Amino acid sequence: MQSSNLILFTFLGLVILSTLLPPLDARAFFVFGDSLVDSGNNNYLMTEARADTFPYGIDYPTHRATGRFSNGFNIPDLISQYIGSEPPLPCLSPELRGEKLLVGANFASAGVGILNDTGFQFANIMRIDEQLQKFTEYQRTLRSYIGAEKAKELVNKALVLITVGGNDFVNNYYLLPYSARSREFSLPDYVNYLTFEYKKILLRLYDYGARRVLVTGTGPLGCAPAEIALRSTDGNCAEELMRATDLFNPKIVQFLKELNSQYGSDVFTAANSNRMHFDFVMNPKAYGFKTAKIACCGEGRYNGIGICSRLSNLCKNRDEHVFWDAYHPTERANRLIVNRMMTGSTDYMSPMNLSTILALDEIH
C-alpha cells in the first residue's frame, strides 16, 4: 500500500511539474555583448559602468532602474516580445535557476568590446571571454536540470544575439588622442584585427552549440551625442568615427557570409545596425522624432557630456529623442531597430530577416 501511494504521489508530482515548466520546444534566447544589450549583469559587479539609478528605467513597467541602459525596454526585451518569450535573466542574477534556465540567459556586460583591453577604465566588467565561459557554466547547470540530450537541443534551437564592437572604437582606439591601439595600428589595420578577433568569438559560439546567431555591427558611432559634443564643431556626425563604422560593418557582413559557406547553412545573420540607426539619425522627423542630436538625459553640449544621473537635464517626452543618453537609444528608437530586424529587407538583414528565420525554423 505504501509503495502504491509513493508511485501515485510521484506521478502527480511529475504532472504538476510539467504544467509549471515552459515547454522544452519553446525557443530559448541567449544574449552576449555590451551596454546596448546588457539587462543588468553589471548591477552585480563593482564597476562604474552601471545603469541602476534614476532616471534609467523611468519608462520601464516598474518605473525603476534595472541595469538596462535605456529609459525603458532594450533590444533583447523587444526581441523577446516578438518571439513570444519573457526576456532572459542576467546570467549573474540569483533568480536564474530552475525553470528560468529554459528561457535562456543574458551574458552581456556594459563596457566590453571584442578585445579584452577595451573598457579597461571600467575595471570589473564581464569581458567577452568571461561571457563565453559563463555560457559553458550555464550549459552544465542546464544539463543537470533537464539532461544532456534536451540541453543540447535547447541550445541548438535557441536564438542568439551578439552586439559588440562599438566600444573597441569609442572606449579604446579613440578613447585618447594617442591611444595605445592607435599607435599600434592604422585604422584599416585595426579594423582587420577586430574582425579577425570577432570571427574567433563567433567560432567559439558555434563550438558551444549556437546555430542561430544574430550578429550586429556598430551603429553610426560618430552620430552619438557624446561624439558630436566631443569631436564636432558644426553639430554634424564626427567624421573619423563614421569612417571607422564604414570600414568595420562591411567586413562583418563579408566574414559572416564566409562562415555560413563554411558551415553549409545560414547560422549567422548580419544586422546592419548602422543603416537601421542612420535612417532616423539623418531624418528624425520622418520617424516621428524631434531630434537625433540631443540626448534626453545628460549634460553639456547636446546633453552628451558626462553621465545620465539624477542631476542631469531630463527631457519630458522620451519618444521625441533618438538618444536616451550620450550613447544609447531610447526605447522608441530600439523598437524601430528591432522592427527592422524582424521585417527589414536585405539592406538591413543579411541573408534574411528574423521573421523569415523564425518561419523557416517553424517548418523544420
- E strands, the chain, are 29-33, 104-106, 159-163, 213-216, 268-271, 297-298, 313-314, 349-350
Give which of 110, 96, 70, 86 is closest to 331, Cα–Cα: 70
Rounded distance between C-alpha atoms, residue 312 and residue 297, angstroms: 6
Q: Which of 35, 109, 273, 312 is catalytic?
A: 35
Phi/psi of residue 32, each to 5°? -130, 150
Question: 63: buried, middle or exposed (CB in 10 Å: 19+, 13-18, 0-12)?
Answer: exposed
Q: Is 234 a catalytic residue?
A: no
Reply yes or no: is the peptide bond before residue 351 cis, omega within 30 of 0: yes
What is residue 67's DSSP assignment? S
Query: Which one from 34, 273, 325, 350 is the annotated catalytic residue?
Result: 325
Which cell is 226 given?
557624446
Cell numbers at residue 131, please? 561571457
- Residue 332 · residue 287 · CB < 8 Å: no
**Residue 130 and residue 204 in contact, taking contact as beta carbons nearer than 8 Å:** no
CA pair distance 336, 309, nearest whole angstrom: 25
Classify strands 159-163 and 104-106 as parallel, antiparallel or unpaired: unpaired
d(Cα 52, Cα 7) in Å, to the nearest integer?
49
**Which residue type occupies 134?**
K
| Active-site residue, selected from the candidate residues 34, 70, 321, 328 | 328
Question: Would you call 325 a catalytic residue per the annotation?
Answer: yes
In this structure, what C-alpha cell is assigned to residue 124? 570589473
Give the Cα separation of 151 and 142 in Å (integer). Answer: 6
Q: Which amino acid is at 86?
A: E
> Which positions ≥6 away from 363 have C-beta within 8 Å?
none
**Residue 328 is a catalytic residue:** yes
Q: Enumerate the active-site residues.
A: 35, 325, 328
